[in-house]
A and B are shown apart, each in its own frame.
Chain A
Amino acid sequence: MTSLVAVASHIPKATVPVAEFLREHGIPEPRVRMYERYFGFGRIPLDPAAGPADLLVAAANGLPDFEALRPRIRYVIQARTMPVVAPHPVNPLAEACRRLGLETATAICLTQHACASGLLAVEVAGELLAADPDPQSLALLVAGEKAFTTAGKVLADTGVMGEGAAAVLVAAGGDRDRMLSYATRTCGKFHRGAWLDDELTAAFHDEYPALLAEVMDAAVRSAGLDLDDIALILPHNVNRMSWLRVLRLLGVRGADRLFMDNLAGCGHCFGADSFINYRTAVDAGRLRPGDRYLMTSVGLGATFSAMVLQH
């Protein structure tokens, strides 16, 4: 059964106020106040000196016992959001593997699910490890990206992108953070991603809560559970208001089980959010042994995903 052996996060120390960040990108003042007061964003971590591989390496180096576990890592899977992240043929994943001493591991960069690639990476890692002849084999997942270009830094009325990253070690077996189910759905009519026309942008915002609620419900039911069985939701860090609509659709009263502690300080860190939130939640004692929890993510394009795990 696919399990998460360890999860680490890397949040750049330098942050900028979200208002300053938004003004720099031409967001009008009334919208800036919306992002702060209603959507819940506060400060955005950015590391201008870091390249794309630096973020991944920093996250992986934060994994406990990484040196000891490295010989068991057979696969490195990057969960990538942005469709093009470097001039051809610059290869950030290969650079990260070299710097981590993982040149012999099979490195795969997963794309097309955008910010939902992180959960896809867990699924693919589990699939590869289940077929691997060595039951001790591990997969290293890395997620987190540089924020560049206005359309990639600010998702209209959805999120403000931060440069936090996460690293996750996945095993085919084990009893820690076992994956119980995964549900994903791509809605191709939104394939223009951040560059939808006005009509489709409106449709995306209209349909978003129901589409997300649908995969969350499907993941929970596929695991043989009910939403009442879910102790905590580790979400992607987007607009708090949109989350309230999703919870209402799911019949979840209050937002106590929605872990939004990192929204104000981290922003939306591409495909790394759920894992960053996992690290913070566990460190804060918000997950107890046996708790079932739900990770969510939505990617441009648009892909809606949810995964149920047991701590």
Chain B
Amino acid sequence: MYITVSRLADDGRAGPGELRLAAVTQRAGIDRREYRPQDHDYFRDLFGTFGLTADQEGLAAGRVSFTDLVEAVLPELNGRGDRFDLAVMASTAPDAEPGFPMCFLDSAVPDTGLVLGIADMGLVGVFTALWLAENRSRLGARRILVFALDQASVLHAEPVPAHLRVTEDAVTVLTLDVDAAHRVETAQPRPVPPEEVPACWSALLAGEQPGAVTALAGPGLVAVCGDRLPVGTVAVPAGRPASGIWSVLAAEWDGWRRTGRRVLLADYDPDLGRFAHCAITVEPDSAGAHVADSEEQEKLR
């Protein structure tokens, strides 16, 4: 059970507030399942209230729900999925079923803490989840899981903008742990007019040591910058609006842990007019880091 008692107004700033990344895990290529009869009813009735009809071909094609994604990635977490204080899921497209994947998580791992989801935050949803996580770490949370979820079923024929379109069912999980080595710095996503976004991104890069940072720009940021995207920025392709930019981090994670790397990640949601960014300092593996990791693995056993 999660219990809080009233806090003083400045408690949120009281703690050390350091967010540290222990692992980045991703999973894709999951087999689709059939929609259940109740899903047919649900989407028919929901879309009917918007004057739309549910796409029968899409329904026949099956889906990978958020619960399927969470279930599929759990074994990959190697024991880091349990004993959490907070688990947050974020997505851009809604679920492919009326499900409660964070409640499923509660049933699937031991010693769970508070679970919740955030929605309708477009391309800045996962960044917002990390910002909430940082707030929570100030209040004493030791282990936090952030699930970035993408599912590709749309079930209607109305247009979906390219930056929000999901082409691959996938999940990336950020495991944050106070005992981990790699520092994460988040910021509250903020309103920025589109014409000011390139300068905003350039200013962030200017604050970094040249050559020492890998800059990852999400699809919204790439689109709004156009040919003003600074040289050297890695443009993350569209298709996985929630998990895509974090999947690059997951793919490079082992390599960057060997060498050490500063990574700057950012995206821009043109519909919400919000710019979001996050910096991760990946520490090089050292004897100390190995010891810390092995100690943690030992604790998990």
Chain A interface residues toward B at CB < 8 A: 1-2, 78, 80, 82-94, 103-104, 106-114, 120, 123-124, 126-132, 135, 146, 148-152, 172-173, 178-195, 214-215, 218-219, 222-223, 300-303
Q: In whole angstroms, how far apart are the Cα atoms of A190 and B102 in the complex?
A: 11
Q: In whole angstroms, how far apart are the Cα atoms of A129 and B11 in the complex?
A: 10
- What's the least CB distance linking A262 to chain B, in Å? 25
- What's the least CB distance linking A141 to chain B, in Å? 14
Contacts of A300 in B (CB 8 A): 100
Q: In whole angstroms, how far apart are the Cα atoms of A187 and B103 in the complex?
A: 7
CB pair A188–B99 under 8 Å, yes or no, is: no
Q: In whole angstroms, how far apart are the Cα atoms of A222 and B119 in the complex?
A: 30
CB pair B9–A150 under 8 Å, yes or no, is: no
| A135: nearest chain-B partner, CB-CB | B9
Chain B interface residues toward A at CB < 8 A: 1-13, 36, 38, 41-43, 45-50, 52, 67, 89, 92-95, 97-108, 112, 114-122, 128, 132, 135-136, 138-139, 154-156, 158, 160-161, 164, 188-189, 191, 271-273
CB pair B41–A186 under 8 Å, yes or no, is: no
28 chain-A/chain-B pairs, Cβ below 8 angstroms: A1-B7, A80-B119, A84-B42, A88-B154, A89-B92, A89-B161, A94-B120, A107-B120, A110-B116, A112-B89, A112-B100, A112-B102, A129-B12, A130-B12, A148-B49, A151-B42, A179-B6, A180-B6, A181-B4, A181-B6, A187-B103, A188-B106, A193-B103, A218-B1, A222-B3, A222-B5, A223-B5, A301-B103
Option from A91, A123, A128 in Cβ contact (under 8 Å) with B120:
A91
Q: In whole angstroms, how far apart are the Cα atoms of A122 and B7 in the complex?
A: 13
- What's the least CB distance linking B56 to chain A, in Å? 15
| B154: nearest chain-A partner, CB-CB | A88
CB pair B2–A185 under 8 Å, yes or no, is: yes
Chain A contact residues: over half helix, strand or loop, or mixed? mixed
Q: In whole angstroms, how far apart are the Cα atoms of A190 and B155 in the complex?
A: 26
CB pair B95–A2 under 8 Å, yes or no, is: no
Contacts of A187 in B (CB 8 A): 103, 106-107
Q: In whole angstroms, how far apart are the Cα atoms of A190 and B89 in the complex?
A: 18
Q: In whole angstroms, how far apart are the Cα atoms of A193 and B139 in the complex?
A: 30
CB pair B121–A183 under 8 Å, yes or no, is: no
Contacts of B155 in A (CB 8 A): 87
- What's the least CB distance linking A148 to chain B, in Å? 5
Q: In whole angstroms, how far apart are the Cα atoms of A186 and B211 in the complex?
A: 46
Q: In whole angstroms, how far apart are the Cα atoms of A103 and B8 in the complex?
A: 29
CB pair A84–B95 under 8 Å, yes or no, is: yes
Q: In whole angstroms, how far apart are the Cα atoms of A152 and B104 in the complex?
A: 19
In the complex, besides A110-B117, A181-B3, 10 extra interface pairs with C-beta distance below 8 angstroms are: A1-B6, A1-B7, A85-B46, A111-B117, A149-B46, A150-B41, A184-B114, A191-B103, A195-B98, A222-B5
Contacts of B158 in A (CB 8 A): 87
Q: In whole angstroms, how far apart are the Cα atoms of A151 and B10 in the complex?
A: 43
Contacts of A92 in B (CB 8 A): 120
Chain B contact residues: over half helix, strand or loop, or mixed? mixed
Q: In whole angstroms, how far apart are the Cα atoms of A186 and B106 in the complex?
A: 7
CB pair A218–B3 under 8 Å, yes or no, is: yes
| A121: nearest chain-B partner, CB-CB | B116
Option from B12, B92, B105, B164 in Cβ contact (under 8 Å) with A131:
B12
CB pair B272–A94 under 8 Å, yes or no, is: yes
Contacts of B98 in A (CB 8 A): 82-84, 151-152, 193-195
- What's the least CB distance linking B37 to chain A, in Å? 10
CB pair A83–B103 under 8 Å, yes or no, is: no
Query: Given A188-B107, A193-B99: A88 and B5 within 8 A (CB)?
Result: no
- What's the least CB distance linking B200 to chain A, in Å? 16
Q: In whole angstroms, how far apart are the Cα atoms of A92 and B212 in the complex?
A: 42
Contacts of B3 in A (CB 8 A): 181-184, 218-219, 222
CB pair A186–B189 under 8 Å, yes or no, is: no
CB pair A111–B118 under 8 Å, yes or no, is: yes
Q: In whole angstroms, how far apart are the Cα atoms of A218 and B143 in the complex?
A: 23
Contacts of B101 in A (CB 8 A): 112, 191
CB pair B5–A180 under 8 Å, yes or no, is: yes
Q: In whole angstroms, how far apart are the Cα atoms of A5 and B4 in the complex?
A: 20
Contacts of B104 in A (CB 8 A): 188, 191
CB pair A94–B10 under 8 Å, yes or no, is: no
Contacts of A89 in B (CB 8 A): 92-93, 122, 160-161, 164, 271
CB pair B4–A87 under 8 Å, yes or no, is: no
Option from A83, A94, A120 in Cβ contact (under 8 Å) with B116:
A120
Q: In whole angstroms, how far apart are the Cα atoms of A193 and B100 in the complex?
A: 7
CB pair A83–B95 under 8 Å, yes or no, is: yes
- What's the least CB distance linking B295 to chain A, in Å? 30
CB pair A183–B164 under 8 Å, yes or no, is: no
Option from A84, A128, A152 in Cβ contact (under 8 Å) with B12:
A128
| B274: nearest chain-A partner, CB-CB | A106
CB pair B189–A106 under 8 Å, yes or no, is: yes
CB pair B6–A94 under 8 Å, yes or no, is: no
CB pair B106–A182 under 8 Å, yes or no, is: no
CB pair A131–B13 under 8 Å, yes or no, is: yes
CB pair A87–B46 under 8 Å, yes or no, is: yes
- What's the least CB distance linking B164 to chain A, in Å? 5
CB pair A191–B139 under 8 Å, yes or no, is: no
- What's the least CB distance linking A193 to chain B, in Å? 6
